[in-house]
Every structure is written in structure tokens, then in C-alpha cells.
Amino acid sequence: MKTHKRIFQYLLSLLLLVIVSTTQLIGQESAIYAGGPIYNNRNSSISELRNSGFTTVIVWTIHIESNGDLGFNGEFPLVQNGVYVGNQSYPNFPADIALLKTAPTSINRVEFGLAAAGSGTFEAVQNFHNSEGFGPGTTLYKNFEALKAAIPGIDAFNNDDEVTYHAPSAVAFTKMLAGLGYKNAIVPYRNSTFWSTLVSEVNAAYPGNIDRNYLQCYAGGSGNNPCSSTWDFGIPVFPGLWGGSGQSSVSTVESRMNSWQNNCGITGGFMWIYDDFDSSPSVAAYAGAINNALSPGSVPGVANSPNPSNGTSNISTNTSLGWSAGAGANSHNVYFGTSSSLGSGDFKGNQSNTSYTPGTLNTATTYYWRIDEVNSLGTTTGAIWSFTTGTSTTVDHTDPVGTGIITARAQINTAESADKAFDNLFINGTQNINWSKWLDNGGVPSTSNPSWIQIQLPAAVVVNKITLTSANDVPDRDPNNFDIQGSNNGTNWTTLNSWSGQTWTNRFERKEFSFTNTTAYTYYRINITKNKANISMTQVCEIELLGPAGTSNPPTGCADCIDFNTITLVSYSNQDADGTSFVEDNGDTARLVNNTWKRSTNTYSITSNTVIEFQFKSTIEGEIHGIGFDEDNSLSSNRIFKVHGTQNWGIQDYDNYTGSEFKTYTIPIGNFYTGNAMSLILVNDNDGGSGNNSSFKNIRVYENSSARIAVSSSAKTIINELDDEPAKNLNNNLNVYPNPFTDQLKLKLPKNHDFTSVKIYSISGQLLAEKSIDSKKNISEFTALEKLEKGLFIMKLESDKETILYKLTRCAFRKSCANC
């Protein structure tokens, strides 16, 4: 009987090894972070993990003390002065680590965590890097050498630096571990620039050493997307979720892992943290959720649910194609053309998204398209679909971005505001790294209290088709019942059409809805009267209002603005601590996050007539938000115009930003400094915290001919006219003082005024200073006017209804003003 039992155990071990080998063959990995139970409940926990279905255990976690000693999770010493001492607390620790990978088991890799927020581990690494380095015989080298000898079952180390982010020391330390024979992995949740540097420099010296990116997609990293290029460092990305009571359920884990696998073909995932659900069926259930979601199982299913629907006609010439992915598909081969046979010449490429925009199409033309679904096991050829375009050209009346004034019932914050529904960002990937969407948190939508969003266009247009694109997450927030209304005064509305029972199968799925309408309206409103699950939040990624061309007059955009897709931003001076920046709005906007200072590699010539015009927006006030130009990479406070912030730094003449929306600035740089070959500088300084953003949009750099006052060919004529008829240009409710002035000027306005801006021009028409006016305030003040020359100036006060001109005089000294 004993012999038979040994044979059975041997065969069982072989079977499990075959299962593990098969898992490794298809590249599928499921990892779990495990702390205290590993050594506190060793008998039950080791057995539970070996039989869980997880393929990797990350034992949590080593702390490096300031003297170089290695402690474990702040609970017991591990290595001191080059000697392993862990057996004094847990004598079975090395054997248990080895047992994790001993057949029969699902585990094929054991990693040890390094650090965690607040442990001081990588501060110690930085200090040792500065003092003695990491070569043979150094403190940390000897301690990790002793650890390797004592616990040979450790395959890799798992870097969880969440505070220090000092690349030179982290690179050198990781190279030391690689030289000792360890693999390395990273577990980021922010600061992608740091992690990219670490991976590229270590793997350049030790190819393939850092082989996994365990991306935190929970807690502080809950907004991270493993399919985003932000986290693509050339190694597999394994996203992680938090399990246990009150966290992600088993079904949620499987759903999200499956979605990521469908979108970008992830081959691994992880769970945080075993300690929250150990000794329960959830351990195997979470492993099964990841393995089931990532296992391709078979060739993919057939792509389905085409949009536009097969055989439809009168389709917009600016339509985008959408479809539902076949089961198990990782990517999609797109074919599109005018031939029903669709040959190799019609192949448009392989992509992870379930939408494709072919560009502007011909009118009255039949187009054919096909989606072949792809995964690691093969390709499934799809059906050929067709549609026919209409006889008239259709345009999106909300394009370009900024065409209309957008309002809504509610928005949860500025990051998911109403204007995000009309920002032309509706494709998951590099274009839309932040999952742009409008999220209404105004309560459960109903007929009497709908979740509404509206846009006021610059001119009346005909809209006869709308598109709605589902947002990145939570399908229960999708619209279910909704209607569209038109108005020409924003008060009286006409319902144009309504829909009910609508559903979106996929995230970022674009659906078109046509209706009959021949009336041009200035206002359009979408009322969502029910969402999928009748919950308190409703969301939409993108809305497009489509109609015949020639019925709108949208702005032409900013053809001469800086396109950040075509210039390179690098670190400025030694201030670029976080280094996180994004290019948005198709290149019109640069957004800087936390403590980020950037300098353009291309340069500009700043003359005495140069003006910079831009829009600025900030989420949270930091120390310095600014813009300027500099001729070198040395920090220069006299080159940066501060527009916002708590710190007394830089040129502060334009430090007047308030609120959280975009504000336009026009700064005559040539009045402050000039220079050749000067780089553009963008500043978002926030040493004291996170969550801070600065967005610089539609930046134009031009000579002052664009800034000259357009009221007369002779400013002196205007001055004379103002002398003759002052009452026509300034009424008794307005007061400008002191006039003559020296270094400051105040403007008192009537209550309930509608003025929006005030500008000061030279008599030659050059714009010298400008301020936006808040309609709720009746005092506006100019300071630091001592830079102006002595003489005459024109003040121009503007509203939507009128323009008022006023003569100003500046004296060189206060005492001389009586004689001006």
C-alpha cells in the first residue's frame, strides 16, 4: 500500500507540474501579496497558498534600516551586520519559503517585497549610495548576500518605492541585486518617469532583469490603466486589485481583468492582500478569477454588433466604426474599403480598441468592413459588413473643442466635468490616458429630475444625429432612457426624439442615434431620465452633435498655437522632481502634475514686441504656477511669469488666477526681457502635496502687431476726442484713479456691471497690460506700472455690449504728477 501511495503522489506531482508548465507556456501569471500569515500561521497558510491556483507569491516585506540591517515587515530582524538572524524569531522561515514552490503546488515564483510607504527603505538606499555604494564588501551587499545564502528560495525582489524616487541610487541598488542573481519587479502607482528610468537603465545593463510591472490599480492608483502607454516600459504589465471585505469582489476582479485582457492582452494580474482574506474560500476564488479572465482557452469568438448596423444607409461621412469584441479576443485586425471582397490592400492595422475612425468619407458611397479577432491561439475571420453614406456631408457641430458653452445638472469634479463630454476624447489609449468623461453625481435620474447636459453653440445649426460613447468603467452608470431637445433661447425647449432601453456592451463603445429634424437651434440638451441600474451617478465619455454641413459657424481653432505633439519637453534646471506631464487636446494643451518643471528643446526669439497669449487652468493651488522663456537651463526667477500660487517668486504682475476653469492671459514679454534662442518654460511647483495640476492651453507667441488697438489709425486723434467729449466715454458710475498715476491704477465699476476686461495701450496702439474683470467685483487694480514710460495711454474697457475708451497719464514721480 505504501508503494502504491508513493506512486500516486508521484503521478499527482507530475500532473500538477504539467498544469504549471502549461500555465507558464501561455504566459499567464496570477500573483498575491502575502504578509503576516506566512510566518504567523505558517502551517495553514503555506498549504493554502500552494493549493490556491496563484502562480507567484510576493512575501511582504523587507525593510532596510538606516544602518543597513534588514528587518521583516517591522516585526522581526532578518539580517544584521552580514549575518542572517531571522531564525531567532522564525526558524522555519527559509524552509517554508522553499516549500511554497515544492510540488505539488501551483506556485512557480517567490518574490520578497522591498519597502512600502513610510518604511524609509529607499531613503536608506539613497544614503548608502552616497556614502559607500553597493559593491562587494559594502553593507547592503553583505546583508543581501547573507540573505541569499540563508533563503535560496527567493527568486526576485519587488520594489515598492512610494516616497523617495531617487533614480540614481535605485538603479545602482537594483543592479546590485541583479548581480547577486535575483530577478527584479516593480510595483508603481505614480511617477511613471521614475519607473521608466529604473527599468530602462537596469535592463540595459542586465537584459530582461526587471521583468514585471505590478501596476497598482487600487487605493491611490485606482485611476491607473494598464493599457495606457504611460505604464508601458517594455515589460509585461500585471494590474492589481484589492480583495477582501469592502474591497473588490471576486466577480469584479474577473470582470476587470477580462476587460484589460480584451483591451490590451495583459498576461498577468495580482491581488492585494492575502492577509485580508486568508483562511477562506476567497483565496482560491481570487486566483481563479484572474486565471479565468486571462486564460485564452481557445481561438477568439467572432466580432459582432457592428455600428453602423450592417446594410444601413444615409450614414454620416464623418462616422466612426464600432463593434463588440468576440469572446477571448486580445486585439482586432481592421479591414475597410469600397470592395466587397476586402483584400490585403484594405487592411488598416491591428489595434486593441473596438472602434475605428476612417476619416472623412465620400458621399453616396457604399463601404465594406470586417473585423478579424486575434489572440495568442489564433485569428477568427469576421463577417463582412457594409453601410452607405448619405448624399450630403455631415459634420460634428461640437468640433473643434471649445465651440460652445457647456452646462449640466451636476459634475463630480473638474477632472470629470461637463466639458469633458465635448472634448473629442473618446478612444481608450494614448489619446485618452485619463479616461475623459462627464460624471454627474446629482442623484438617481428621473423624468422629473433628469441628468441633463446642454451646449450653447455660436450659431443655430441643424442636428439630426447624436452619438453617445460609454465611459471607462461602471456600466451601471450608462444612459438607458434619454431624449434630445432644441432651443433658440435656452428657456423654451422642443423635444426632437427620445430613446429607451439602450445598452452599451463595451467600454468606450460609440453608438449613433438618428432622428428627423430640419430646424436650426442654438441650444441642444440631452436629458437622461434613467441609467442602467437606477443609481445616483450617471456618466458619458463623449457626445457628438451631427448634422448637415454649412449650418454652423464654429471657431477656426488656433492654427498658430504651439502643438505639443511636435515639440519635446525636458526637465528645467534641478526642479523637475515629479516630472509628470501629459499632452492633451490633440496637442493644444500641456498638463503638468505635482512638482513638475519643463523646458522645450526648441527655442524662440523674444523681441521688444513679443507677446505670449495662453489659457491657464489649475486644480489645486500649489507654490508656483507659471510660464516664461529662458536662454539656459539655470533657474531664473526673472524669466518666469507667475499666474497662481502661494510662494513669493517670479514676475508677479499677472498673479491673479482664481477658480478652477481656463482663464486667458496676454503678456507682453518684450516689456520685461528679450533674448535669442530662448526655451519655453512651464512650471507647476507643489512641494507640499499631490493632486495638483497646471494646464497651459492654446499658447500663441507673436509680435505685437496682433495686439494693437483696432479703434483708429491715429491714437492721438482718439486722445483729442476724449479731451473734447469725456462724458461720452466715461459715465458718472465709473471712476479711474489716480489719474495721472505713477505705479498703480484702480478702476471702480458700477454694481451689476457686465464688463469682462480692461486693457492699457500705448498711444501707438501697443497692448501693455490687460486684466480680466469679475462681474461680481466692482474694483479692478493694476500694479507695477512703474515699468511704463512717462506719457499718455489709452484704457479700453470692454463688455459684450459696449467699449469705453479713457485717457490716462503717467508721471515719472509722484511729486511731479501735479504738473502733468
| Per-residue model confidence as pLDDT tens digits over 668-699 | 888 888 888 899 999 999 876 666 789 999 89
Q: Return the minimum-mean-pLDDT range out of 204-218, 644-658, 746-760.
A: 746-760
Strand order across the beta sheet in which 779-782 lies: 735-737, 745-748, 779-782
Q: Which DSSP helix (H) or strand (E) runs through 196?
A: helix 192-205
Q: Are 193 and 208 in contact (CB under 8 A)?
A: no
**Mean residue pLDDT across the chain:** 84
Q: CA 565: distance to chain centroid?
A: 16
Mean pLDDT of the 242-254 span: 90
Please report the pLDDT score of residue 409 as a whole number: 95
Where residue 506 falls among pLDDT bands split at 50, 70, 90? confident
Q: What radius of gyration, in Å, describes the C-alpha atoms of the chain?
A: 32
Where residue 714 falls among pLDDT bands split at 50, 70, 90? very low
Establish how many alpha carbons lie within 13 A of residue 547's alpha carbon, considering only the half-sphere containing its beta carbon: 20
Please report the pLDDT score of residue 13 as a whole number: 46
Cα 601 to Cα 201, 442, 544, 597, 674: the distances in Å are 23, 45, 36, 13, 18
| Residue among 137, 141, 211, 215 at smallest CA distance from 172 | 141
The Cβ of residue 90 has, within 10 Å, a number of other Cβ atoms equal to 17
Cell of 284: 482560491
Please report the pLDDT score of residue 73 as a whole number: 85
Please report the pLDDT score of residue 24 as a whole number: 36
Q: Are 669 and 629 in contact (CB under 8 A)?
A: yes
Mean pLDDT of the 238-245 span: 94
pLDDT digits (tens, 9 = 90+) for 300-338: 888 888 888 898 887 877 788 888 888 778 889 999 999
Q: How far apart are CA 543 and CA 422, in angstroms?
A: 6
The neighbouring-strand residues paired with 243 are: 248
Please report the pLDDT score of residue 806 as a whole number: 75
Residues whose CB falls within 8 Å of the CB of residue 736, separated by 6 or more in sequence, listed in order: 730, 745, 746, 747, 748, 795, 806, 808
Q: Which DSSP helix (H) or strand (E) runs through 469?
A: strand 465-469
Q: How far apart are CA 202 and CA 213, in angstroms?
A: 14
Residue 707 has pLDDT above 70, yes or no: no
Cα 27 to Cα 24, 55, 185, 266: the distances in Å are 5, 11, 16, 9
Long-range own/partner contacts, residues 130-138 (CB < 8 A, 24 or more apart): 130/169, 133/172, 134/172, 134/173, 134/175, 134/176, 135/176
Please report the pLDDT score of residue 625 as a whole number: 95
Please report the pLDDT score of residue 178 as a whole number: 95
State the architecture of 735-810 in CATH terms. Sandwich (2.60)
> CATH class for domain 304-389?
mainly beta
Q: How far apart are CA 656 and CA 635, in angstroms?
A: 23
pLDDT digits (tens, 9 = 90+) for 190-236: 999 999 999 999 999 999 999 999 999 998 898 999 999 999 999 99
| Residue among 585, 588, 549 at smallest CA distance from 397 | 549
Q: How far apart are CA 106 and CA 637, in angstroms?
A: 59
Burial group, residue 819, by CB count within 10 angstroms (0-12, 13-18, 19+): exposed
The domain spans of the chain are 29-294, 304-389, 394-548, 569-703, 735-810
Q: Return the minimum-mean-pLDDT range out of 2-16, 582-596, 671-685.
A: 2-16
Q: Are 679 and 600 in contact (CB under 8 A)?
A: yes
Q: CA 672: distance to chain centroid?
A: 35
How is residue 741 annotated by DSSP? B
Vertex 121: Cα angle to 117 and 122 (nearest 5): 90
Q: Which DSSP helix (H) or strand (E) runs through 284?
A: helix 282-294
Q: How far apart are CA 529 and CA 525, in angstroms?
A: 12
Please report the pLDDT score of residue 283 as a whole number: 94
pLDDT digits (tens, 9 = 90+) for 718-735: 444 454 444 334 444 677
Mean pLDDT of the 733-751 span: 77
Strand order across the beta sheet in which 355-356 lies: 304-307, 321-324, 355-356
DSSP characters for 682-719? Answer: EEEE-TT-S--EEEEEEEEEEEGGGGS--S-S-HHHHH
Residue ranges of alpha helices (H) inside 529-588 are none
Q: CA 525: distance to chain centroid?
A: 28
| Residue among 744, 768, 764 at smallest CA distance from 668 | 768
Q: How far apart are CA 529 and CA 283, in angstroms?
A: 41
CATH (residue range 394-548): 2.60.120.260
Cell of 591: 498638463
Q: Are 213 and 229 in contact (CB under 8 A)?
A: no
- Residues in the chain, total: 820
Q: Which DSSP helix (H) or strand (E) runs through 251?
A: helix 250-264
Please report the pLDDT score of residue 558 as a whole number: 61
Q: Are 453 and 407 in contact (CB under 8 A)?
A: yes
The percentage of residues in the chain with a pLDDT greater than 90, rounded to a whole number, is 46
Residue 642 has pLDDT above 90, yes or no: yes
CATH (residue range 29-294): 3.20.20.80
CATH (residue range 569-703): 2.60.120.260
| Residue among 35, 91, 95 at smallest CA distance from 59 | 35
Residue 36 has pLDDT above 60, yes or no: yes
Q: How far apart are CA 623 and CA 686, in angstroms?
A: 5
Q: Are 34 and 273 in contact (CB under 8 A)?
A: yes
Q: Are 113 and 60 in contact (CB under 8 A)?
A: yes
Residue 2 has pLDDT above 80, yes or no: no
Mean pLDDT of the 407-420 span: 89
Q: Is the pTM of this model over 0.75?
A: no
Q: Return the minimum-mean-pLDDT range out of 707-711, 722-726, 760-764.
A: 707-711
The percentage of residues in the chain with a pLDDT greater than 70, rounded to a whole number, is 87
Please report the pLDDT score of residue 817 as a whole number: 53
Residue with cell 477632472: 415
Establish how many alpha carbons lie within 13 A of residue 537's alpha carbon, considering only the half-sphere containing its beta carbon: 16
How is residue 45 annotated by DSSP? H
231 or 559, which is more confident?
231
Whether 304-389 shares its CATH topology with 735-810 is answered: yes
How is residue 136 annotated by DSSP? T
Q: Classify strands 268-272 and 237-242 as parallel, antiparallel or unpaired.
A: parallel
Q: How far apart are CA 188 and CA 217, in angstroms?
A: 9
Residue with cell 506531482: 13
287 or 424, which is more confident?
287
Please report the pLDDT score of residue 461 as a whole number: 86
Whether cis (ω within 30° of 0) applies to the bond prior to 458 is no
The Cβ of residue 6 has, within 10 Å, a number of other Cβ atoms equal to 10
Cα 166 to Cα 117, 196, 345, 352: the distances in Å are 14, 12, 49, 34
Please report the pLDDT score of residue 719 as a whole number: 47
